[in-house]
Amino acid sequence: MAQDEGGGERRSGLPVVVLLLMGTLGISTAFGMLLLLPLYMQELGGDEADLGVVLSAAAVPAVLCIGLLIRYPEALRPHVVVALAIATYGLGAAGASLVTGGWTPLVGIGVLLGTAWAVVYAATPMAMSGMVTDEERAAYFGYLTGTQQVGIGAGPVIARFLVETPLGFRGTFLAAGVVCLIAMVLTLVVGALAPDARTDAGKEGAEENRSSAVSFGAAMRHILGSEAAYSLAMILLFACLFTSMTSFQPTFAGARGLDYSVFYVAYTVAVIFSRFVLARVAARFDSRLVIAASVSVMALAVASFLAVGSNVFFYGISSAFLGLGYGLALPGVQAQAVNVSEEQVRQRVLPMAGMLFEGAILGFPLVAGWVITSFGYSALFAVLLAFALVQVTIAWWRFLVAGRSKGMQEV
């Protein structure tokens, strides 16, 4: 085992972590390539409201699957769960390449894609969390989610190039399925190389875990009654913002005469910078202060989309600041949700956060699509701004409360 400088033991070496990140990059790139599905739906006669139906079709099965992860977090190794989900996403991508003549069959494809991505999003941090210590968790979550954002941002750009070749939309979706196959193999290799955290502790540790086990109901009460509940609420709102800004970006850009690649490139570069560079600087400061400042930047960026119009430069700047704020805030909030939780319920916190995030990612497009078709994109950005302001309020409130508590303890 690799010894961590902070005093804890990292269960897996750096090469295994890199393999997990490579698999994450693969599935995230495939996800990004499927973000062109709205444009294909338009070719098949659909609109934003129809897209909302397709994206939301997986909401219930996704929540049920992640609910099983919360209920039975150790039934399967996280790497196995992720690999199975990646394979399912690949099947959905290949299935999308077979749809012609109308958009209705995409509802079934949406169930596969949405459920699989939800499980990937919830289970991958579980795999990473078992490889690192508490001190490392925020940084490595940043690397993980940063890698996801690289794929999500690069995917649409790659897909745009492929769509303009003889492959078209259908060939591009099939190519995404091939990428999933490679990502699945990489993830299975991680499982083969990484030690099983369920057996590493030995019989003595297992007996201790059984004696201190917390029932599912008690665990939920512990989590929702703790400071982690505030982080979970923020994660839910992050999801509404993320799914709206990424899923509807191609149609928004088209309506404004803009190039959607500008958003994905600027947003992705900003997220990469925030999670791989800026996060190291931010680590010197109170994590709650970093979260509060970054969500404030994110809120300003969302507000700026109300005034973007058809200005490409302003569009790029707004996208970049959105990536900076969101990119720095989300991994910090995820790590805080785990770190403030009691040890015996931590294994349920990450899948619960994943369930909330993916439930909103899959369910909110139904609302967003209706808002767009009924009131326009400005109304949607106004709703998202309201959500961002709620996050700003929570973040600064928790920072001030923590500061007062620390001051009282010092006195």
Confidence category of residue 201, pLDDT binned at 50, 70, 90: very low
Tokens of 16: 């295994």
In angstroms, rounded to a whole number, what is the distance separating the alpha carbons of residues 140 and 206?
Answer: 27
**For the chain, what percent of residues have pLDDT higher than 90?**
33
In sequence order, which ranges of 248-345 are alpha helices (DSSP H)?
Answer: 249-256, 260-273, 279-282, 287-304, 312-339
Taking residue 126's Cβ as centre, other Cβ atoms within 10 Å add up to 22
pLDDT band at 404 (very low <50, low <70, confident <90, very high): confident
pLDDT digits (tens, 9 = 90+) for 233-272: 999 999 999 889 988 888 898 888 999 889 988 998 998 8
CB-based burial label for 185 (10 Å; 0-12, 13-18, 19+): middle
* Residue 14, Cβ density class (10 Å: 0-12 exposed, 13-18 middle, ≥19 buried): exposed
Does 387 have pLDDT greater than 90?
Answer: yes
Average pLDDT over residues 378-390: 95
**pLDDT for position 213:** 60
DSSP class per residue in 88-109: HHHHHHHHHTT--S-STTHHHH
Is pLDDT above 90 for 68?
no
pLDDT tens by residue, 108-142: 998 999 899 888 988 888 888 777 766 677 677 77
Contact 395, 298 (CB under 8 A): no
Q: Which long-range contacts (CB under 8 A, 24 or more apart) does 376-380 make?
A: 377/248, 377/252, 377/255, 378/306, 380/244, 380/248
**DSSP β-bridge partners for residue 365:** none
Q: What is the rounded CA–CA span in Å between residue 204 and residue 4?
A: 23
For the chain, list the domains and their CATH numbers. 12-196+213-410 (1.20.1250.20)
Residue pointed to by tokens 């950005």: 381
pLDDT tens profile 298-308: 999 999 999 98
Whether 362 and 55 have beta carbons less than 8 Å apart is answered as yes
Cα gap 8→298, rounded to integer Å: 34
Q: At CA 235, angle to CA 56 and CA 22, rounded to 5?
A: 80
3-class DSSP state of 288:
helix
